[in-house]
Structure 1
């Protein structure tokens, strides 16, 4: 295949994956973070967002951490696990960043998706010299499907998983954090919460008309319920989509209660979707401690 065709194919696949996730996904994201991603979706739809083929390789921007810290701890990254696994020292901690909007697929000029991250952390889990994992989180949330998929990955790991919040762990990001054995925040101004769900739907019919496109949909006579939730919602009947949102919300709330026993005692405080700064989050069991990351890493090596 010619190089130009290959790049165009990668570009098409990338945008179709992201557009599909925006369009069909149920998003667990704090509203303060959501607007920038709706803008991203609009730019993709309008053709204003250009593709850079450097993003084809998710490992391209992952630095090697395969060294010994000043306090004697060994850290490794996805690059080390896949490119230089033979150099990984005994008793190494695998560090994985989870930042920005959480999506299943790799983002344009942004973080890798949970599909890629799952591959990375599973590979690290198999390495005999990796004894634990640390996920550094700074995210307002994202796709519910992506968060659920990555949470299932964490449950399948054989080695302990720790979480360090360095900014925000909201909505889907906290869903993932709650599947870790221990959660720390780096400062009193870090915030966690927004545990819940909501659905935003977009009616693009006018936008298509403005582009000179009139969409005509012909449903099979047997398909009386196909897309019914969406079609009713854009006509103002939100009941069916409300049921979907409630179902997902119930699932994430139950997950937090099951995994965070101290938080379960304070269910009425956080189950409404409120955000909390680190001190209050610790009081109600959403996090375990507040400490700088170097101290937290040191404690992981001490505990294990």
Structure 2
């Protein structure tokens, strides 16, 4: 293969890799910058040709903004963070692309840095990978400080998705392009490409994998005519994309001009008309605008704090007034907090008294049960003695002293042992107690 063919093959392979899977990207940008991407893909030093994704702090001095010194003392909210978002969007870091994961991490650091009052995002990207984009969007949307997204070329597809939650989005040149809100997938039949070199490719699936890659096989087997399953999958992604953009921009979407949710890309004037950006200013004005946003945010925070404190004082005053109000509640009126508290106290006292009575009754029951057990043992003991005495010889009956358990003589007839026991006073006491 010639050097020229080898380079062409590398370029085609690189572009295919960039577009594989589900993408939110403006393809024209990729074609325009394919030479740079190919050089970066080969490992060439791109440090002087391609801005890296980095975060910097700027401070204002003598009316101008400059990078903060390493050991410079910066007051609370006095610095502005700046992040470059240049090149196609990947989920994880590559040298020649923006990483959605890195953006989330950088914003988290700036959110926790008390010196930072707001953040400027410098944007020049066609979009990129779908996965990871929504996480970055949420990080921007929920950032606790003002964010200004500044377009410096492209702000398309996945990149627009990521910055849609910014407090403001501005263009800096009339040639900037914004939008391309939509989802698509590029798929190549590499089997035909390899077949042109005499190399046949075969795919073999396990018996239980009949639906694996079903959407791709459906597409190829139909000669590219049946994309139903692919479109169904892409629609799920796209619906979420549009829903989040609408949530991020809110009522700033005007409904005027061409509908930005159908995938069109716009120049600034049209993007301002339909509301996907706020305005066009020069790049030199962006830091001043962000400073104003920070100042406005501080003022809003102070006003909110004062409002909350005033509400607190009013509530406390009403509580004290209510506590000091000794008037009786008019008939039919709702009871006061004090009256309800007194009722709770009375009911609690009554409950405790009842519990005390239960405890006393339980103690008495246990004592009675112990007495019955003692009497029962005594009866059993006497029964044994009677049986022994009844078996002894002699004409005269056994004399017993008259005591509490004396056996009654009866009318001269003989009594059974059961009758004798039943006539005992102790047995009668036990029967009276229910035993």
The TM-score, its normalising length taken from structure 1, stands at 0.76
CA distance in 2, matches of 1:243, 1:40: 34
Q: Looking at both structures, which has the greater relative contact order when contacts are Cα pairs under 8 Å and sequence separation is at least 6?
A: 1
Match of 1:252 among 223, 241, 262: 241
Query: SS of the counterpart of 2:187?
Result: coil
- C-alpha distance in 2, partners of 1:220/1:88? 64
- Distance 1:220-1:74 versus aligned 2 partners, 3 A rule: same
Residue 92 (1) aligns with residue 79 (2): yes
Q: Is 2:263 the partner of 1:276?
A: no
1:82-125 per-position Cα deviation (integer Å, ceiling 9, x unaligned): xx5x64723111111112211123335x2342222322222222
Q: Distance in 2 between matches of 1:205 and 1:101?
A: 27
Q: Which residue does 1:102 correspond to in 2?
A: 89
Question: What is the distance in 2 between the residues matched to 1:115 and 1:287?
Answer: 24
Q: Deviations over 1:180-234 (max 9, x none)?
A: 1111111333221211122111121133445665443332211111111112122
Is the Cα–Cα contact under 8 Å of residues 176 and 267 in structure 2 kept in the other structure? yes
Checking the alignment, whether the CA contact within 8 Å between 1:167 and 1:191 is kept in structure 2 is: yes
Partner of 2:43: 51
**CA distance 1:286–1:127, shift in 2 (3 Å):** same
In structure 1, distance between residues paired with 2:291 and 2:266: 28
1:118–1:180: structure 2 CA closer, same or farther, 3 Å change rule? same
Q: What TM-score, normalized by structure 2, do the two folds share?
A: 0.55
Distance 1:230 1:70, change over 3 A: farther
Q: Distance in 2 between matches of 1:257 and 1:61?
A: 27
RMSD: 3.4
Q: Following the alignment from structure 1 to structure 2, what is the Cα–Cα distance between the partners of residues 218 and 66?
A: 57
Give the distance between the partners of 2:269 and 2:258, measured in 1 at CA.
18
* Structure 2 Cα separation of the partners of residues 206 and 276 of structure 1: 37
- Is the Cα–Cα contact under 8 Å of residues 256 and 264 in structure 1 kept in the other structure? no
Structure 1 contact 25–145 (Cα < 8 Å) conserved: no
SS of equivalent residue, structure 1 residue 152: helix
The structural deviation recorded for 1:269 is 2.0
SS of residue in 1 equivalent to 2:155: strand
The 2-side partners of 1:206 and 1:37 are apart by: 27
State the aligned residue count.
273
Report the equivalent of 1:287.
Answer: 277
Structure 1 unpaired stretches of 5+: 1-17
Task: Name whichever of 130-139 and 204-213 sits farther off.
Answer: 204-213
